[in-house]
């Protein structure tokens, strides 16, 4: 269905009426590529009445050597559509002329072998039309006039000057800008036109109608508007985009706007490429220059690249505009990206290489930005420009500064293809490449540093190159990388024997090597001794000294060989001199965040970095993942669990393929969120993800064990949960990781032991945790330990322990832990003003932390009776309750425990009375709540 072509149709209809009355006319239908000339021409026969004879012909580029090809099509359509008696009469009366046109061997030839067109032949063919027109008006349609063969064109030129008396309307379609339109004979025809019809681009309303035609449903306003904009109202472009979208199964909704903008229909591209091949060389050269230089190219540079002077440039640009390929008149910019694709596909590989290399040279001499020159070099198979490598390195540096390491990597990898680079120069280029890769492709970074080091000439250069490899933060470095660090450190020598930059490099290497032993208790102990050797105030004047101090400080933190106050003080000094910025993630400096979290010293920190903001087209890196994970850890340390979830989940998403580098810390952070939020779905998701990936990191292993214990406890598998926690503790202890803040397995294990009736073991673990917490000195650790003991003890002693826990936690940055202790204390106290005040405070703190379950407990606790000491279940009762909660019948429980069903029933009855419930149904309801309290 045609849209917005009523004006042109009306002119043809009027011309047919005039022809029926005896006035013949020529109408010229013209316009750029894809404007719909052919579609309109095909519609015109529907405007003619039954009395009108329609003669049609379509010219084609490949048929221009076929003499009288268009005339034959016209007369074939005449004879085919006429009744037999009329066809016989016309052939009888004009047979000689018909045979001359319809049979190749009867065409008269001139001296040079071309068709000889005599006046008699031309007039004889007109006389046929005159005879037909005497009976019926004629509508003669000729499409693509620019490709009509020369004899047919000569006859049409003869005919248009002698239309009088034919009762005919001749409509010829001609493409703007085609080189064939410049022929003199064709100009004779176009100059004779009584009216020129030029269809306009489609409006937005017509675009909406086409969307409805294609999809069978109205499109969203944004979708239709986007399609109209990208096609500039050109029917061919618009239909091609819509057909491609429909074939791909897309619907005309606002959600597919960007998909529509990205479309580059292959069929349209091939059609446009064919059109470009028919253009004269200057037009093709300018189109190629526009395609190569793109929107950044200046007209002067485009003209020079195309080899055109100002006059030739203006003429070629005018032709491209007439063809409808430009976005705006006199502006060398293509209407649509598919036009550029078509122009590029019409060139050979050698032509494209030559043009891109020439464009690079033009831009370089013109002083253009390095990335503009580099974009041209990237398209060349092998550039011979002597400055190519330096331009690519400068472009990579620019890309890195604007946060696009992936693009910088492509530039540098392209530069490495230059085989003429000498050894050391190649080594420096490999280091630049590794620097670009380390934030998003750590494995490639390590590989290229390993390749670069043998090419460097001095130990300091080799050691500095090794330091470009980012540390694993919470993981374990691969053995090959450790060997590399040991080798370059040995070549360089100890820091005490060096000075200047060489000493700084040696100190940084020492920091990396100490950190590599973080899961070895002997190495941790030696690192603490090294910290002691630095004195009470370790030197922090340089970045290298701060990196070494951070690594040694974390060893003291993990082993608790230094108290929390000392660790917090030194960490604060480091952070004062080395503010938290995104750049430092490629060094051990992020470990200061872990130290401050463990020391409960995160209150008041306001210098933590924001992750980089990327445009939609840029990729994100492991750097962003690490920054988000650190933010999540800081929020968790303050008890802001709801706020911590977003950066933790974003860190997991951004880590992606960089699991070994950023994914471990992201998983540790999100595990902490999952445990605090008691989100079983999140716990299961993390465990499933961990099952698909393997890592030797102790931090990750411990986090996953805590998640597994949480999952088992929630399902009533208390013994399994306890076994998992105790195994986690043994691993941490054997590695020398004794800090009670980072992995709080003892409080959870003690609560589980108490839950299953092993009160003696629970109290022993609680006392051990209390001793560790007192030795470490962080308020959050001590407050948790005191709360655990308060839960295990009844009476006044338990109440006093809970009161002491709350008092200690008021000095902590973790408000969620304070809310927990206040809730337990308020519920333990008899109803009264103090109890109500404590529960109100706990509820407010819990709400601020994003812990609605704790808010509910605080609200329910007000007015609830104090728990009775006799409500504590015996060990056997806890076992029976656990099995009953798992869904076993009394008989099944009896079989598993080796007792009678009567004994099981007795134990359950006692448990129901102590728990103040009536039976198994209520037991199933309260078990999840009881189990969740174990992990708080």
- Check which CATH number belongs to the domain holding 923 and give it: 1.10.10.10
Whether 577 is covered by a domain: the verdict is yes
Both 22 and 76 in one domain: the answer is yes
Q: Which of 219, 234, 263 is the last residue of a domain?
A: 263
Q: What are phi and psi of 678, to 5 degrees?
A: 55, 40
Separation of alpha carbons 148 and 815, rounded Å? 87
Q: How confident is the model at residue 589 (pLDDT cuts 50, 70, 90)?
A: confident
Check: CB of residue 600 under 8 Å from CB of residue 814.
yes
Q: In what order do the strands lie in the sheet with 138-143?
A: 53-58, 138-143, 168-175, 25-31, 195-197
Cα 780 vs. chain centroid, distance in angstroms? 40
Q: What is the pLDDT of residues 377-417, one digit of tens each?
A: 999 988 888 899 999 999 999 998 887 888 999 999 999 88
Rounded mean pLDDT, 436-442: 82
Both 245 and 272 in one domain: the answer is no
- Which CATH number is 74's domain given? 3.40.50.300
Check: CB of residue 851 under 8 Å from CB of residue 641.
yes
Tokens of 742: 């980072």
Q: Looking at residue 853, what is its pLDDT?
A: 86
Q: Does 494 have pLDDT greater than 70?
A: yes
Whether 474 is covered by a domain: the verdict is yes
Both 246 and 331 in one domain: the answer is no
Both 39 and 180 in one domain: the answer is yes
Tokens of 691: 């099952």
Cα separation of the two ends of the chain: 70
Which residues, in sequence order, are CB contacts of 107 under 8 Å at separation 6+?
67, 68, 100, 101, 115
**Cα dihedral: 926, 927, 930, 935 (round 10):** -140
Q: Looking at residue 399, what is its pLDDT?
A: 92
Q: What is the pLDDT of residues 466-492, one digit of tens each?
A: 999 888 766 567 788 889 999 999 999
DSSP 177: T
Rounded mean pLDDT, 119-144: 86
Residue of 415, 401, 410 whose CA lies nearest to 582: 401
Residue 347 DSSP SS3: coil
Check: CB of residue 589 under 8 Å from CB of residue 609.
no
Separation of alpha carbons 415 and 393, rounded Å? 8
DSSP string, 13-49: HHHHHHHHTT--EEEEEEESTTSSHHHHHHHGGGGS-
Could you tell me the residue range of the domain that residue 21 belongs to? 6-197
C-alpha distances (whole Å) from 511 to each of 249, 277, 373, 506, 539 are 56, 65, 41, 9, 14
Separation of alpha carbons 333 and 346, rounded Å? 18
Check: CB of residue 842 under 8 Å from CB of residue 819.
yes
Percent of the chain with pLDDT over 70: 88
Question: Can you list the alpha helix ranges (DSSP code H) found in 103-247?
Answer: 119-135, 150-160, 184-191, 204-215, 221-231, 235-247
Q: Does 740 have pLDDT greater than 90?
A: yes
Residue of 404, 379, 375, 367 whose CA lies nearest to 392: 375
Both 36 and 128 in one domain: the answer is yes
Among the listed ranges 346-360, 548-562, 575-589, 844-858, which one has the minimum average pLDDT value?
575-589
Whether 160 is covered by a domain: the verdict is yes
Residue of 283, 220, 277, 214 whose CA lies nearest to 252: 220
Rounded mean pLDDT, 698-708: 92
Q: Does 616 have pLDDT greater than 60?
A: no
The residues pairing with 530 across neighbouring beta strands, listed in sequence order, are none
The residues pairing with 196 across neighbouring beta strands, listed in sequence order, are 28
Q: How confident is the model at residue 251 (pLDDT cuts 50, 70, 90)?
A: very high
Q: What is the pLDDT of residues 259-309, one digit of tens each?
A: 999 999 999 999 999 888 888 999 999 999 999 998 777 899 999 999 999
Both 269 and 241 in one domain: the answer is no
Q: Does 791 have pLDDT greater than 70?
A: yes
Separation of alpha carbons 515 and 24, rounded Å? 96
Helix or strand (DSSP H, E) at 55:
strand 53-58
Whether 185 is covered by a domain: the verdict is yes
Q: Looking at residue 442, what is its pLDDT?
A: 80
Q: What is the pLDDT of residues 441-460, one digit of tens each?
A: 888 999 999 999 999 999 99
DSSP string, 699-760: HHHHHHHHHHHHHHHHTT-HHHHHHHHHHHHHHHHHTT---TTT--HHHHHHHHHHHTT-HH
Rounded mean pLDDT, 36-54: 89
Residue 193 CB neighbours (<10 A)? 19
Helix or strand (DSSP H, E) at 69:
helix 69-81
Both 207 and 189 in one domain: the answer is no
C-alpha distances (whole Å) from 116 to each of 61, 111, 119, 151 are 22, 9, 10, 9
Separation of alpha carbons 780 and 597, rounded Å? 10
Q: Looking at residue 91, what is its pLDDT?
A: 61
Q: Does 111 have pLDDT greater than 60?
A: no
Q: Does 613 have pLDDT greater than 50?
A: no
Q: Which of 328, 347, 366 is the last residue of a domain?
A: 347
Separation of alpha carbons 917 and 43, rounded Å? 85
Q: Which of 288, 312, 347 is the last residue of a domain?
A: 347
Both 415 and 545 in one domain: the answer is no
Both 374 and 486 in one domain: the answer is no
Q: Does 135 have pLDDT greater than 50?
A: yes
Which residues, in sequence order, are CB contacts of 836 under 8 Å at separation 6+?
826, 862
Helix or strand (DSSP H, E) at 143:
strand 138-143
The residues pairing with 30 across neighbouring beta strands, listed in sequence order, are 174
Q: Looking at residue 930, what is its pLDDT?
A: 53
Q: Does 161 have pLDDT greater than 80?
A: yes
Residue 58 DSSP SS3: strand
Residue 65 DSSP SS3: coil
Residue 465 DSSP SS3: helix
DSSP string, 85-98: HHHHHHHHHHHHHH
Q: Does 106 have pLDDT greater than 60?
A: no
The residues pairing with 326 across neighbouring beta strands, listed in sequence order, are 334
Q: Looking at residue 434, what is its pLDDT?
A: 93
Both 190 and 79 in one domain: the answer is yes
Residue 464 CB neighbours (<10 A)? 20
Separation of alpha carbons 508 and 519, rounded Å? 20
Separation of alpha carbons 646 and 688, rounded Å? 20
Both 193 and 209 in one domain: the answer is no
Whether 841 is covered by a domain: the verdict is no
Separation of alpha carbons 73 and 78, rounded Å? 9
Check: CB of residue 776 under 8 Å from CB of residue 556.
no
Helix or strand (DSSP H, E) at 171:
strand 168-175
Q: Looking at residue 172, what is its pLDDT?
A: 96
Scored b (16 or more CB within 10 A) or e, 26-59 reads bbbbbbbbbbbbbbbbebbeeebeeebbbbbbbb
Q: How confident is the model at residue 906 (pLDDT cuts 50, 70, 90)?
A: confident
Both 109 and 134 in one domain: the answer is yes
DSSP string, 379-435: T-SS---TTHHHHHHHHHHHHHHTT-HHHHHHHHHHHTT-TT--HHHHHHHHHHHHH
pTM of the complete model: 0.70
Whether 783 is covered by a domain: the verdict is no
Tokens of 574: 């480091």
Q: What is the pLDDT of residues 13-30, one digit of tens each?
A: 999 999 999 999 999 999
Separation of alpha carbons 397 and 409, rounded Å? 10
Which residues, in sequence order, are CB contacts of 5 under 8 Å at separation 6+?
36, 40, 43, 199
Rounded mean pLDDT, 818-837: 89
Whether 680 is covered by a domain: the verdict is no
Greater confidence (738 vs 134) lies with 738
Residue 676 CB neighbours (<10 A)? 21
Can you give the C-alpha Rg of the chain in angstroms? 42
Number of folded domains in the chain? 6
Q: How confident is the model at residue 114 (pLDDT cuts 50, 70, 90)?
A: low
C-alpha distances (whole Å) from 657 to each of 440, 615, 689 are 9, 20, 13
Among the listed ranges 42-51, 103-112, 924-933, which one has the minimum average pLDDT value?
103-112
DSSP 265: -
Residue 802 DSSP SS3: helix
How many residues are there in the chain? 936
Check: CB of residue 539 under 8 Å from CB of residue 524.
no
Rounded mean pLDDT, 902-916: 76
Residue pointed to by tokens 């990396």: 512
Whether 698 is covered by a domain: the verdict is no
Tokens of 909: 């009855």
Q: Looking at residue 534, what is its pLDDT?
A: 94
Reported for 563-568, long-range contacts at CB under 8 A and 24+ positions apart, including other chains, are: 563/775, 563/776, 563/777, 564/598, 564/599, 564/600, 564/601, 564/776, 564/777, 564/778, 564/781, 565/599, 565/777, 567/595, 567/598, 567/599, 567/601, 568/595, 568/596, 568/599, 568/600, 568/601
Q: Looking at residue 679, what is its pLDDT?
A: 84
Rounded mean pLDDT, 235-256: 93
Q: Looking at residue 438, what is its pLDDT?
A: 84
Separation of alpha carbons 57 and 75, rounded Å? 9
């Amino acid at each position: 269905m045609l849209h917005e072509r009523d004006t042109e149709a009306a002119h043809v209809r009027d011309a047919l009426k005039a022809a029926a009355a005896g006035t013949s006319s020529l109408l010229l239908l013209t316009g750029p590529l894809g404007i719909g000339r052919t579609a309109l021409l095909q519609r015109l026969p529907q405007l003619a009445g039954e009395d009108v004879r329609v003669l049609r012909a379509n010219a084609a580029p490949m048929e221009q050597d076929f003499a009288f090809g268009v005339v034959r099509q016209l007369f074939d359509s005449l004879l085919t559509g006429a009744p037999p008696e009329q066809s016989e009469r016309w052939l009888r009366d004009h047979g000689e002329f018909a045979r001359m046109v319809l049979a190749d061997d009867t065409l008269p030839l001139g001296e040079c072998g071309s068709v000889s067109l005599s006046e008699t032949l031309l007039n004889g063919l007109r006389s046929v039309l005159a005879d037909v027109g005497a009976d019926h008006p004629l509508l003669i349609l000729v499409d693509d006039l620019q490709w009509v063969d020369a004899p047919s064109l000569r006859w049409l030129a003869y005919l248009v000057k002698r239309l009088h008396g034919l009762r005919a309307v001749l409509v010829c379609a001609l493409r703007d800008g085609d080189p064939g339109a410049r022929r003199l004979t064709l100009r004779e025809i176009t100059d004779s036109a009584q009216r020129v019809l030029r269809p306009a681009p489609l409006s937005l309303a017509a675009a909406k109608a086409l969307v409805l035609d294609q999809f069978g449903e109205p499109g969203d306003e944004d979708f239709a508007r986007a399609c109209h904009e990208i096609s500039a109202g050109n029917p061919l472009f618009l239909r091609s985009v819509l057909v491609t979208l429909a074939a791909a199964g897309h619907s005309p909704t606002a959600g597919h706007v960007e998909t529509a903008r990205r479309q580059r229909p292959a069929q349209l591209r091939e059609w446009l490429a064919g059109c470009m091949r028919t253009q004269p060389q200057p037009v093709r050269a300018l189109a190629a220059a526009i395609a190569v230089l793109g929107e950044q190219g200046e007209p002067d540079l485009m003209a020079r690249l195309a080899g055109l002077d100002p006059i030739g440039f203006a003429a070629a640009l005018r032709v491209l505009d007439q063809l409808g390929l430009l976005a705006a008149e006199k502006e060398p910019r293509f209407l649509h990206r598919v036009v550029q694709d078509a122009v590029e596909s019409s060139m050979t590989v050698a032509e494209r290489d030559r043009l891109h290399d020439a464009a690079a040279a033009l831009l370089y001499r013109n002083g253009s930005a390095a990335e503009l020159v580099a974009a041209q070099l990237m398209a060349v198979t092998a550039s011979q420009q002597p400055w190519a490598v330096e331009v690519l390195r400068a472009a990579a540096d620019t890309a890195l500064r604007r946060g696009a390491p992936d693009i910088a990597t492509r530039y540098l990898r392209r530069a490495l293809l230059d085989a003429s680079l000498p050894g050391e120069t190649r080594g420096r280029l490999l280091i630049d490449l590794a620097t670009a890769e380390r934030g998003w492709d750590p494995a490639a970074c390590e590989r290229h540093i390993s390749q670069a080091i043998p090419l460097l000439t001095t130990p300091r250069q080799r050691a500095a190159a090794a330091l470009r490899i980012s540390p694993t933060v919470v993981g374990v470095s691969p053995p090959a990388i450790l060997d590399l660090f040991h080798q370059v450190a040995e070549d360089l020598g100890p820091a005490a024997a060096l000075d200047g930059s060489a000493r700084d490099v040696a100190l940084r290497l020492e920091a990396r090597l100490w950190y590599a032993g973080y899961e070895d208790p002997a190495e941790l102990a030696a690192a603490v001794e090294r910290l002691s050797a630095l004195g009470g105030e370790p030197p922090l004047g340089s970045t290298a000294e701060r990196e070494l101090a951070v690594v040694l400080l974390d060893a003291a933190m993990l082993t608790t060989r230094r108290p929390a106050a000392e660790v917090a003080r030194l960490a604060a000094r480091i952070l004062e001199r080395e503010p938290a910025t995104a750049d430092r993630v490629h060094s051990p400096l992020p470990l200061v965040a872990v130290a401050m979290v463990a020391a409960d010293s995160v209150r008041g920190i306001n210098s933590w970095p924001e992750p980089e903001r990327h445009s939609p087209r840029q990729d994100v890196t492991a750097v962003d993942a690490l920054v988000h994970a650190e933010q999540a850890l800081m929020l968790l340390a303050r008890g802001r669990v709801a706020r911590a979830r977003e950066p933790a989940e974003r860190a997991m998403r951004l880590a992606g393929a960089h699991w070994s580098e950023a994914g471990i810390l992201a998983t540790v952070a999100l595990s902490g969120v999952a445990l605090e939020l008691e989100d079983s779905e999140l716990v299961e998701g993390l465990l499933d993800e961990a099952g698909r990936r393997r890592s030797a990191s102790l931090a990750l292993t411990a986090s996953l064990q805590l998640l597994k214990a949480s999952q088992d406890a929630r399902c009533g598998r208390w013994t399994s949960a306890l076994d998992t926690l105790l195994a986690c503790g043994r691993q941490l202890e054997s590695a020398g990781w004794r800090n009670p803040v980072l992995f709080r397995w003892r409080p959870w294990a003690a609560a589980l032991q108490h839950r299953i009736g092993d009160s003696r073991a629970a109290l022993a673990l609680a006392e051990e945790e209390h001793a560790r917490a007192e030795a470490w000195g962080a308020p959050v650790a001590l407050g948790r330990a005191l709360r655990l003991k308060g839960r295990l003890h009844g009476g006044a002693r338990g109440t006093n322990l809970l009161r002491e826990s709350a008092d200690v936690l008021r000095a902590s940055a973790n408000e969620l832990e304070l809310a927990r202790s206040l809730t337990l204390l308020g519920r333990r106290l008899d109803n009264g003003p103090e109890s109500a005040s404590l529960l109100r405070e706990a509820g407010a703190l819990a709400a601020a932390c994003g812990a609605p379950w704790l808010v509910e407990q605080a609200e329910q606790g007000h007015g609830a009776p104090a728990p009775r000491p006799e409500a504590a279940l015996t060990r056997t009762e806890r076992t029976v309750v656990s099995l009953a909660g798992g869904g076993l019948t009394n008989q099944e429980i009896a079989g598993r425990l080796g007792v009678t069903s009567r004994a099981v029933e007795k134990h359950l009855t006692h448990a129901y009375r102590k728990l103040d419930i009536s039976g198994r149904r209520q037991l199933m309801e309260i078990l999840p709540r009881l189990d969740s309290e174990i992990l708080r």
